[in-house]
């Protein structure tokens, strides 16, 4: 459904492994990635299935797998996305999901007479999606006051310093709790509870089912009027129902976090043409795609008599395209 909404010629699926990278050395991660690709390579291809990163799979892992694929097939192709720039990756791919989330939310807010300017924003997670969503929110004048990881969350009333977060997460591969070593006024809280922080806009960007019905009620009580899913299904069904029942501007993940797969498709296009677009070119294409997704789901919801129910709109718009394609190609 997500890939359908992008309007790009890509399908969609999910897969993974039960390997836990926590505490493993680079050598151990590399050995697993190579073994994984040794089995996987028979089932994928640039015109068959093109894997991309997700939770626990970033540029390091994509590089290890891509290198093994090349060794096994003796070929260069756009077989994995999220590659490094030195070997066929796309500019703006790292930023894509986070930026795309904010582009869609910005269009949604604009169409309802609102904006990120001077709004307080809480974002869960501290990986690529969360940090780049935070960067774009700050660029649009919002104030991000909280980020989290699996251990707990940090609150910085003066606004999160993303330079510090990147140093911890990318430079040291550390925990968000270390943020307080750099920013003495910030407060770290172990465990859950990030959705109890007062905010105008919430962007759950960590993992599935991280936001419950009780969390949704807490957000409402604290004045939150817009929620965008940066992760895949971070709001559980009870939370989604709370948002819809109370007219919260709620963008479901199949629409709001489609920026990653969109730029994956753009990366595939660049590989096929043996060329590369500039960051600004990719970023503008991404912004256009996310704006079109918002318009698509808003129109679908309106046509169904459920105006501003973007969950229904995303389901209808995504399903309609898939169903029409299936019927036109002959159902078997």
Q: Taking 80 as the threshold, does the pLDDT of residue 332 lie above it?
A: no
Model pLDDT, residue 217:
98
Per-residue confidence band for 16, with pLDDT thresholds at 50, 70 and 90: confident
Instruction: Taking residues 277-303, report their average pLDDT.
Output: 98
Instruction: Taking residues 301-312, report their average pLDDT.
Output: 97
pLDDT digits (tens, 9 = 90+) for 149-204: 999 999 999 999 999 999 998 888 899 999 999 999 999 999 999 999 999 999 99
Per-residue confidence band for 211, with pLDDT thresholds at 50, 70 and 90: very high
pLDDT digits (tens, 9 = 90+) for 112-132: 999 999 999 999 999 989 999
* CB distance 138 to 188 below 8 Å: no
Per-residue confidence band for 26, with pLDDT thresholds at 50, 70 and 90: very high
Per-residue confidence band for 55, with pLDDT thresholds at 50, 70 and 90: confident
* CB distance 28 to 62 below 8 Å: no
Instruction: Taking residues 84-105, report their average pLDDT.
Output: 96
Alpha helices in the chain (DSSP H): 2-6, 26-40, 59-73, 96-111, 128-139, 162-166, 179-182, 213-221, 237-245, 253-256, 259-272, 279-303, 310-329
Model pLDDT, residue 53:
87
For all residues of the chain together, what is the average pLDDT? 95
Helices (H) and strands (E) in the chain, counts: 13, 7
Instruction: Taking residues 230-243, report their average pLDDT.
Output: 97
* CB distance 236 to 264 below 8 Å: no
Instruction: Taking residues 141-153, report their average pLDDT.
Output: 97
β-pair type (249-251, 143-149):
unpaired
Q: Which residue has the tokens 């043996």?
A: 274
Which two three-digit tokens encode residue 95?
């930023």
pLDDT digits (tens, 9 = 90+) for 129-140: 999 999 999 999
Given 2, 14, 135, 221, the catalytic residue = 14
Q: 152 φ, ψ to 5°?
A: 170, -160
Q: Taking 80 as the threshold, does the pLDDT of residue 51 lie above it?
A: yes
Helix axes 59-73, 26-40, angle to 10 degrees: 50
Rounded distance between C-alpha atoms, residue 139 and residue 115, angstroms: 12
CA dihedral 244, 248, 252, 256 (to 10 degrees): 160
Proportion of the chain above pLDDT 70, given as a percent: 100
* CB distance 194 to 206 below 8 Å: no
Angle at 117 between CA 283 and CA 111, to 5 degrees: 70
The domains of the chain, with CATH numbers, are: 18-89 (3.40.50.10860), 98-256 (3.40.50.720)
Note if 2 is an active site residue.
no
Angle at 139 between CA 134 and CA 142, to 5 degrees: 65
Proportion of the chain above pLDDT 90, given as a percent: 89
């Amino acid at each position: 459904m997500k890939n359908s909404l992008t309007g790009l010629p890509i399908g969609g699926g999910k897969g993974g492994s039960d390997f836990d990278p926590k505490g493993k050395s680079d050598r151990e991660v590399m050995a697993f990635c190579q073994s994984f690709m040794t089995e996987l390579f028979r089932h994928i291809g640039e015109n068959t299935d093109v894997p991309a990163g997700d939770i626990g799979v970033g540029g390091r892992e994509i590089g290890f797998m891509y290198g093994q694929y090349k060794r096994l097939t003796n070929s260069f192709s756009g077989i994995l996305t999220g590659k490094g720039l030195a070997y066929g990756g796309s500019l703006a791919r790292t930023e894509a999901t986070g930026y795309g989330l904010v582009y869609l939310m910005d269009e949604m807010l604009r169409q309802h007479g609102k904006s990120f300017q001077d709004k307080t924003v809480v974002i869960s997670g501290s990986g690529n999606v969360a940090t780049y969503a935070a960067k774009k929110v700050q660029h649009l004048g919002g104030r991000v006051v909280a980020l989290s990881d699996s251990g707990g969350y940090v609150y910085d009333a003066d606004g999160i310093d993303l330079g510090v977060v990147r140093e911890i997460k990318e430079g040291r591969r550390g925990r968000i709790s270390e943020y307080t070593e750099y920013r003495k006024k910030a407060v770290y809280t172990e465990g859950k509870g990030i959705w109890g922080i007062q905010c105008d806009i919430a962007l759950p960007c960590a993992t599935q089912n991280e936001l419950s019905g009780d969390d949704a009620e807490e957000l409402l009580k604290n004045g939150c009027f817009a929620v965008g899913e940066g992760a895949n299904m971070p709001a559980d069904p009870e939370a989604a129902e709370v948002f819809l029942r109370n007219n919260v501007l709620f963008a479901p993940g199949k629409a709001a976090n489609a920026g990653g797969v969109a730029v994956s498709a753009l990366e595939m296009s660049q590989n096929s043409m043996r060329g590369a677009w500039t960051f600004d070119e990719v970023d503008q294409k991404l912004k256009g795609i996310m704006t079109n997704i918002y318009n698509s789901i808003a129109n679908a919801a309106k046509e169904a008599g459920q105006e501003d129910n973007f969950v229904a709109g995303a389901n209808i718009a995504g399903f309609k395209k898939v169903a029409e394609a299936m019927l036109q190609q002959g159902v078997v």
